Amino acid sequence: MTVATAATAAASRTSAASAPAAATRPPGGPPVRVPCRFLGWGAAVPGGRLTNADLEARLDTSDAWITERTGIRERRTSGSGETTASLATAAGRAALERAGVAPSEVDLVLLATTTADTPCPSTAAHVQHALGTRGPAVDVNAACAGFVYGLHLAAAAIHAGGLSRVLVIGGERITAITDPDDRATAILFGDGAGALLLEVAQPAAGEAGPGLLAVDLGGDGSAIPHLGIPAGDRYLRMDGQEVFRRATRAMATSCEAVLDGAGVSAEDVALFVPHQANRRIIDATAARLGFPADRVAVNIDRYGNTSAASVPMALAEALDAGRLSSGDLVLLSAVGAGLSWGSTLLRWGA
C-alpha cells in the first residue's frame, strides 16, 4: 500500500509500515498520498446512562477515585434492542445524511468493532442491510484501535481504485463483554458508535488537498495476557497498570512517528483526537507531543472508553462544535488490546 507511513519500533508491523521512511519526507512538505474528501460524520449512543454514583452504590469504588484516576463521570449503556449493529447503523445514517449521499452511492462499509453481535455473519452485513448500501461490508477487529485501522483500509481501497465512497464506522456494545462485578473494568467502558464517510478525490493542482497524509500501525502480541477475553470467560480481563504503561508509551511513539513521517509538528496540527481510554493517558500524551488542552478532543467524562467507537465519536463531536475547518490537520490515535495501535494524520476537507 502506498499510504505514507512512518516508522516506529514495533514488534510487528504492516507491510506498508516497512516502506522506507525517507520516501515519506520529500522536500516541500507532506505528500498527500491518498487524496480523499471527508463528506460526512455522525455518532450515536444508546439510551442507558451509568453514572459513577450508580457504580458507587454496588461496587467497592467511589466517584472520587473514578474521576481522579480515569476522568470518567458517566457512560452510555445499551438496553433491549440496542446492538452494535443498531448503534453503528444510526451513526452511519447520520454521516450519510450530513453528506447528502444516498446509501446506494456507498461502495463499501467497514465496521471497526470488538463486539460483533454474532460471530457470523459480520455485523457490517447487518449494517449494510439496514442502511441499504451497495453490497460489500466487512468487520475490522483491532480492538480500540479498529477505527484508525479502518480509515487506513478505506484509504487503501480508494487508492487501489474502483471504490469511490467508503463508510468507516467504529461501533461497540462493549458493556456486553464487561463484567459488571469487576471494578477494574466496570468503571471504564461504555457503548456507542461514530462514523466517517470518505470519497475519492483528485489532488488540487499546486496545493495540498484533503486526505490521509501519514499512517502508523503497530502491534505487540506480547501484551495479549494483559488485556482480552480469556478462553472460557465471557468478559474482558485487564491488568490495568501494565496496559496503562504500554498504552501511554505506544500512543506517544506512534503519534511522533506520524508527525515525523508527514514532516509536521504538533504546532501545525489543529486538533489531536486520541482514544478515550483514560484521561491521564490523554493528558500525558498531549503534554509529551506539545498539544495545549484547547487542541485536544476529550469526551471521556461523558462516555468512558467506547473502544473502537471512541475516536470517531470524539471526532464527530469536535466537528459538530466547529473545531475543524477545511485545510486543518487532524491527528487521530488509538491503542487497544493486542496491543494494537494506530495513528493517522488527515488534512480535513469536504
What is the closest distance, in whole angstroms, from the C-beta atom of residue 245 to ligand UT7 in the complex? 8
**Residue of 144, 152, 226, 278 marked active site:** 144
Q: What is the largest CA-CA distance in the chain?
A: 61
**Residue of 52, 126, 275, 299 marked active site:** 275
184 makes contact with ligand UT7 (CB under 6 A): yes
What is the closest distance, in whole angstroms, from the C-beta atom of residue 10 to ligand UT7 in the complex? 17
144 an active-site residue? yes
With CB under 6 A as the contact rule, the residue among 13, 69, 73, 237 that binds ligand UT7 is 69
Burial 212-225 (b: 16+ CB within 10 A, else e): bbbbbbbbeeebee
Q: Of 212-241, which residues contact ligand UT7 (CB under 6 A)? A: 240-241
Say how many CA atoms lie within 13 Å of 244 toward its Cβ: 14
Q: Give the interface size with ligand UT7 as a residue count (CB under 6 A).
A: 19
Looking at the Cβ atoms of 216 and 260, the one nearer to ligand UT7 is 216
Q: Of 259-288, which residues contact ligand UT7 (CB under 6 A)? A: 277-278, 281
254 makes contact with ligand UT7 (CB under 6 A): no
Sign of CA dihedral 208, 345, 270, 101: positive
275 an active-site residue? yes
With CB under 6 A as the contact rule, the residue among 5, 70, 78, 343 that binds ligand UT7 is 70
Contact residues toward ligand UT7 (CB under 6 A) are 61, 65, 69-70, 144, 183-184, 187, 240-241, 243-244, 247, 277-278, 281, 305, 335-336
Q: Annotated active-site positions, please?
A: 144, 275, 305
